[in-house]
Every structure is written in C-alpha cells, then in structure tokens.
Amino acid sequence: MAFRNSPPPCRIPGTLWPRPRSMRVAMIAALTLMVLPVVSGCSKDSSSASSQPAAVDPNDTLIAKVNGTEIRASDLTIAEDDIGADLQGPPEQKREQLIGYLTDMILVSAAAEKRNLADTADFKRRQAIMRNKLLMGAMLQAHAKSVLTDEELRKVYDEAVKPMAAEEEVRARHILVESEDDAKAIAQQIRGGADFVALAKEKSKDPGSAEEGGDLGYFTKGRMVPEFSEVAFKMYAGQLSNPVKTQFGWHIIKVEDKRQRPVPKLANIKEQIDAYLVRRAQSEYVAKLRQTAKVERLDLPPCMPPGVPPSMMAPGAPSAPPGK
C-alpha cells in the first residue's frame, strides 16, 4: 500500500489546533502513570515562615536535626517514595540510608542558598514546573479517591467476570513433531499402551511443554492457533487425537479435562480493579479539563490555503487547515 505524504503541521492564527485522538490518549496515559508524592520538605527551628510547614503534626516524630533543620518521620516516608527502589538491606539499614539522604539534601541545598542559586532564572523556572508537577499529582490522587467506592468496585468486577463464566477451558497435552508420519507413529504407540508423558518428554519439539510431559495447562479457545483449538475443544476428556497440522508442525493432542472457566474472587483482583479505576478517573478528569482549556500552539507556522503563494497572504489573514 502506498502512503501519501502528509503536509507538515501548522497552526491557524487565532484558532486552536486539534490534537489527534491517539496523541491525547497517550498524553493522558503518561500523566496518569506518574507516581507523584507530595513533598512537604524539612523544617527549621528558627527560620523564615516560607521554610516551615503550616503546622507540625504532634504525632510526626522528630528524627534528627541538621544545623537546626528538622527531619521528621513524614520526611522519611516522602524520601522513600523518591528513592525507595534504590534502598538496600534490612528495614533499619534502609532507614539509615533515608536519614543520610535527607541530611545530604539539607546540607547541599544550604550551600546552594549561600551561592544564591535559588535566585537564578533557570532554578525558578524548574521550581515552578516541579510545583505544578506536585500539585498535579496531589490533585489527581485526591480526585481518584472519590471514585474508589465499593459500588464502583463491584460494578467493574461484575462487568469483568461476566464473560468469563460463559467460557469453556480445556486442559490438554500435546506432542509436536515435524512430519505427519512421525505423528502417526507416535499416536499408534500411545494407542498400543505407551505412556504419553514419557513420549512427550522424549520426542516433542515444543521446548515450552516437553519437560512437563506435553502439559499445556488450562486454556480458552482463543489462546491457541485455530487449527489446534478446533480439534481440542471438540474432544472429550481422555481422548487422543489424530495428527493435527498447524504452522508449528504436527501435533498429537490428548485432552485431560474440560471445565467452565473459573471466575476469580473479588478479593484476589481488588488491587487490579482499584488501579484501573484510578487510571480511568484521572484520564477522564484531565480530558475534561482539556475540553474547556484554551491551548494555543505558537511554535508552528501558520497554515496557508492550497495554491496560494506566501507572498499573496496578507499579514494576519485567516488561513484554512490543509485540505480545506
């Protein structure tokens, strides 16, 4: 198939350029996958109000002081959100690593303050972006909590498991060989009393199941290639198939059992449903905000109607998007 060349992106002066749906979805998904802890920061006994939290929780244990700046239990929790994946050792050792991390942060940041690095334009811009990032995380987390109700959890669970209850599963073994003659010979041996499991371990070319005696476990019809499934799901428990050809070679199939697919209990998949509800709620929330937002792209050149040379475009004249 030949693909047509697309015109370069451009903007229409005074209008908003619509984002492709796929781009919007990907952007929202990227936002909702972020883990964004809300950092309170360490406090100092005698410093300006801007460096202290609004109020200190009396239950927030004071852990240490570094040149007068406090490290509290809540700071350790926030630090663990930041570097938890890099911590090593038993809990006490990890705790000491967190205290050391916060200590270094306080000391180095104080040295940066003395050099007035906080007054640079680059720092202030980064500070603004980080503040927005933390606020975004706080807002998305707060919004997500509102949808994690028992009623919504049960609704999603029921919708998810409803189609499962109607699905049939087969547990089967197979022996995979390269030729039909080999498959026929093996089938004849099994019908003559040879052990299927032993022959699968000896002769099957399927590395994933040979060591297990050809056992494929339970599977639904769509999990296997059509030629294999069509035969397996028509067989009864204990039955041995004739040679079956698929793209992988020739199979001898033995059905061990057939059953209705078991439905997982709500308690076993609650965390997965919670995560799904959070992602969905956050995505929908961001999408709703975008619908009422004025987002202008100023980094793209204005569009021109087809066939009109740039020299004939009046300054500020309205344009049409490509193809209009």
Question: Do 55 and 94 touch, CB atoms closer than 8 A?
Answer: no
Q: Which residues contact 16 (CB under 8 A, 6 or more apart)?
A: 294, 295, 296, 297
pLDDT reported for residue 55: 67
Helix (H) or strand (E) holding 69: strand 69-72
Residue 208: what residue type? G
pLDDT reported for residue 47: 39
pLDDT reported for residue 247: 96
Alpha-carbon torsion (237, 240, 245, 248), positive or negative: positive
User: Tell me: the pLDDT tens digits for 284-313?
Assistant: 999 999 999 998 888 888 776 666 565 555
Residues in a beta bridge with 251: 176, 244
* Least confidently predicted of 15-24, 56-65, 255-264, 270-279: 15-24
| Residue 189 predicted with pLDDT over 90 | yes
pLDDT reported for residue 8: 47
- Measured between alpha carbons, how far is residue 132 from residues 15, 137, 167, 280 in Å? 26, 9, 47, 21
On whether the pTM is more than 0.85, the answer is no
* Least confidently predicted of 52-66, 104-118, 219-233, 246-260: 52-66
From the CB of residue 152, how many other CB atoms can be counted at a distance below 10 Å?
16
Question: Do 175 and 204 touch, CB atoms closer than 8 A?
Answer: yes
Question: What mean pLDDT, rounded, does the chain reach?
Answer: 81
| Residue 225 predicted with pLDDT over 60 | yes
Q: Which residues contact 56 (CB under 8 A, 6 or more apart)?
A: 43, 72
User: Tell me: the pLDDT tens digits for 83-137?
Assistant: 999 999 999 999 999 999 999 999 999 999 999 999 999 999 999 999 999 999 9
